[in-house]
Amino acid sequence: MEPQVAKIPATRLAISINRCFLPLCTGFVEQSARAFGLGDSEALSLTLAAEEIFNYLADGPACGQNLDIACLGNTFQVATVFTLPTNTLNLRAFNFTFRPALNEDQLPADLGLLIASRTVDHLQFDLKAGKFRLTLSKDKAYPALEHKPLLMPRAEPAVTFRRPDPAELLLLLNGLMGLSPGRRLPPEFAQPGKVVDMAGAGLYGALIAVDPAGRLGGGLLWRRLSDQMVECFGPYLFGQPAATARSLLDHLLGVLAKTPAVGLLNRYPTPDLPSGYFEVLGAWGHHARDGSLPEIPVHYRSLEEDTGAVAWTHPALRAFIAKEYERLAFARDLITLSAAGERISPYSVLTTEFNRPAGVVTLRPIWWGEDAECNLREHVRVLRQEGLRDLFFEQDLGRSWQSHFTPALLAAGFSPMVILPHGGHGDLLMFEHRGGDLP
């Protein structure tokens, strides 16, 4: 069976936004974080972020409003969710590139928001049913993987395929370094203990191939990108014949046949990926150390009939998206975005997911605003200065507002590359920065 996502425990507090309640807010977040397993440093970081958010709200127009605070605990992460009747935050301060205007006489009000965004690992905004939600998440601390190839005991041809226990999963993850140290992989793979905890929470699944003596001959992992799409990693083989890779994939397909998944994605192909199991959606580039830009294919397998979906597009990309859907034979109702003079926020917000060992950054929009092009250009400039070469932008075609970013993306040097079906709320359109360095 597919791993079941564990029910996430939660604590909740309802208070009024007033400075006299600050100790109640910070005490609640700190005690909840510790109860859910965060270490001292991580719990204090999450508490500091909550303190800065609460102080900012108490000093602004939100003072006196009702505030709901929830802490959600997982085996690898704790999240604090603030729910407000209205948005009274300066969202611009949550951008990675934001720098407040400092003066000698008074600290800027949005400095606290900057501090909050830098002390947590993940940010998310939601606006639903007239209520604004800000989610701050802090990951538990895990030791990084030592960059030393692990010598795997040579296994006989594997005859058993099964789920690994935690120690075997750690062995598999450590063994990947010996296969290809420079391979692009999810950033959490550099912290094997985190992946083991995520697997325990049902967010990752894994299969291994073992010989009669129990020696590890190979394996693969997978995770859900959405309710309908699964992404797999591997197969990884340790001195095994090609038939082992096919058997691992066959076992995975058997697992997924019992789930609602409609597709299987592989964005990190290995040399052991057998032919005939996937079709190629497209490709994107990867800046190699020698300066070349090899193309990496993105593989996809349909698991059952795709009954269609709605996809939103900006007029500037309608022809490209329609052509891609026709080429891939995806049934989509393509709706062209149109502006009607509605009010637009002055500031946009992007999140940044770093994979520094691979030199990769993925930008995701979480708020649309008029400064989108300037914001994107500044992100490109800063990230290039930090030596990060592979810059991607993920646009969810199932969320209409994200298509507003299209003109800004094209102007900032991003090009549409690959459509990932059902990768988010709808299909994901992946852009890659191909415009070189920006002035």
SS3 405: helix
Closest to 48 measured CA to CA, from 1, 97, 113: 113
Cα separation of 196 and 266, whole Å? 20
Judged against a pLDDT cut of 50, whether residue 37 lies above it is answered with yes
Torsion of CA 176, 181, 184, 188, to 10 degrees: 60
> Could you identify the residue written with the tokens 């059902």?
422
Q: Are 229 and 421 in contact (CB under 8 A)?
A: yes
Q: How many other C-beta atoms can be found within 10 angstroms of the C-beta atom of residue 26?
A: 18
Q: Residue 197 is which amino acid?
A: D
292 compared with 45, residue with greater pLDDT: 45
Q: pLDDT band at 7, cuts 50/70/90?
A: low
What angle (nearest 5°) sits at the alpha carbon of residue 16, between those of residues 14 and 19? 125
Give the whole-number percent of the chain exceeding pLDDT 90: 61
First to last CA, the chain: 52
To which residue do tokens 């959606």 refer? 281
Alpha-carbon distances of 436 from 38, 84, 380, 405, 430, rounded to whole Å: 41, 41, 9, 19, 18
123 bridge partner residues: 136
The pLDDT value given to residue 89:
82
pLDDT digits (tens, 9 = 90+) for 214-228: 889 999 999 999 989
Q: So what's the pLDDT on residue 184? A: 72
Q: Which of 96-110, 285-299, 355-369 has the lowest mean pLDDT?
A: 96-110
Asked if residue 439 has pLDDT above 50, the reply is no
Let me know: does 408 contact 319? Beta carbons within 8 Å: no
Give the chain's domains with CATH numbers. 1-141 (3.30.565.10), 160-277 (3.40.630.30), 304-439 (3.40.630)
Distance CA 90, CA 271 (A): 47
pLDDT at residue number 1 = 40
- Single out the residue of 137, 102, 114, 127 nearest to residue 53, CA to CA: 114
Decide if pLDDT at 438 tops 50. Answer: no
